[in-house]
A = this chain, B = another copy of it.
Amino acid sequence: MHKKEITIYDIAEKLDISPSTVSRALNENSLVNKKTQKKILAAATLMGYRSNTFAANLRMQRTNTIGIIVPRLNSYFMAEVISGVENVTNEAGYNLIISQSMENPEKEIKNLKTMFNNRVDGLLVSLASGSDGISGFGVFEEKKIPVLFFDRVPTTVIVPSVTIDNETAGFQMTTHLLNMGAKKVFHITGDQSVNVYRDRTKGYKKALLAAGLSFNENQLIITDLSEEAGIEAANLIMKNGGDGIFVANDGCAASCINELKRQGKNIPKDIIVGGFNNDMISRNIDPPLTTIDYPGFEMGRVIASKLLDHLGGKFDMHSTPLITMKSDLLVRSSSSFINRNP
């Protein structure tokens, strides 16, 4: 059905040389004569030759492909990360194959299997909530296929991972809210089996403690961090009274703020709020949201580079498994009287 593909044999025959030489020339192997190479390259373009990756992969036992599995593709943060990853892998001539676990550990294992069967050279993973980061990964270890975790990483084992210091960030944010005068700070967060949320909560509690405040269980609101959850949490806070909120992501913080406003609260006069991620939304709601700058694109570039460097033998990921990236507290009007909009 397809027109016949041109192979190195066709080129070899036409030029009356051996396939080995053609192969070498095409791969810019320095062993071949400059003139022969030029001739071969010219013939290749002329004949419309394209290399067959599969034959090469089959022979070389590698694929030039790296895989990435994320909990969900459709978040601003993940989109940024993937953009950063693509940027690096594409540059380096690697293919990127993507899948999402939909926050489902079983689907994660299924995706893992697919990646494995597709012989990815390396894997980037951000865990589904509820996943331990162990089940399903054994095969990769056995076959020495490098796996690098990022953002949501396993915590019961030490494996190569890139994160930010969520606990410190949570501590900074909470301390900031307390410093701005909040007396009763709520914390809206996600599934505590996920390291990022658990650590942010840890930082939150630590900050309360450091300020001599006791932690009250009903100030901790555990949700799925959706827009809807923000609204429900707002209602809860209206009922229980509070003057500060630290939300573990910006989208949820935004909808929470809006609900509070609808109910007549003034932000930041009555309640001050901080989010997390520095999503586009944090800059554009009213008032602009104090948040933690968590640079997704940059993280994407970092994890891809680490993995490729490891594959290239430039350094061993396992020698310094735990990498922490910088994150920053960004103070905006939602938590500050001084900068508040008129």
Contact = CB atoms under 8 A, between A and B. Distances in A.
Number of copies: 2
Given A2-B61, A83-B72, A98-B86, A117 B51 contact: yes
Interface string A282-319: 01111000000000110000000000000000000000
A144 interface: yes
Interface stretch (A89-97, A158-166, A189-197, A209-217): A89-97
Given A78-B79, A119-B54, A73 B99 contact: no
B258 A284 contact: yes
A255 B284 CA distance: 6
A303 to B, nearest CB: 15
Classify chain A's interface size: 35 or more
A249 B92 CA distance: 33
A72 B86 CA distance: 10
A341 interface: yes
For A2, A52, A54, A255, which residue has the most chain B Cβ atoms within 10 angstroms? A54
Interface in A84-135: 86-87, 90, 93, 95-100, 111, 114, 116-119
A31 interface: no
A40 interface: no
Interface string A44-76: 000000111111011001010100000011111
B116 A50 contact: yes
B118 A53 contact: yes
A75 B296 CA distance: 13
B53 A119 contact: yes
A89 B323 CA distance: 33
A221 interface: no
A114 B144 CA distance: 27
A257 to B, nearest CB: 8
Given A284-B255, A285-B286, A341-B262, A100 B86 contact: yes
Interface of A: 1-3, 50-55, 57-58, 61, 63, 65, 72-76, 78-80, 82-83, 86-87, 90, 93, 95-100, 111, 114, 116-119, 142-144, 227, 251, 254-255, 258, 261-262, 280-281, 283-286, 296-297, 341
22 contacts: A1-B144, A2-B144, A3-B143, A50-B116, A50-B117, A52-B58, A53-B118, A54-B54, A65-B97, A74-B82, A75-B79, A78-B79, A86-B98, A86-B99, A90-B99, A93-B114, A96-B97, A97-B97, A251-B284, A254-B284, A285-B285, A286-B286
Given A54-B57, A74-B80, 9 more contacts: A52-B58, A54-B63, A73-B79, A79-B79, A95-B118, A255-B284, A262-B341, A281-B281, A285-B285
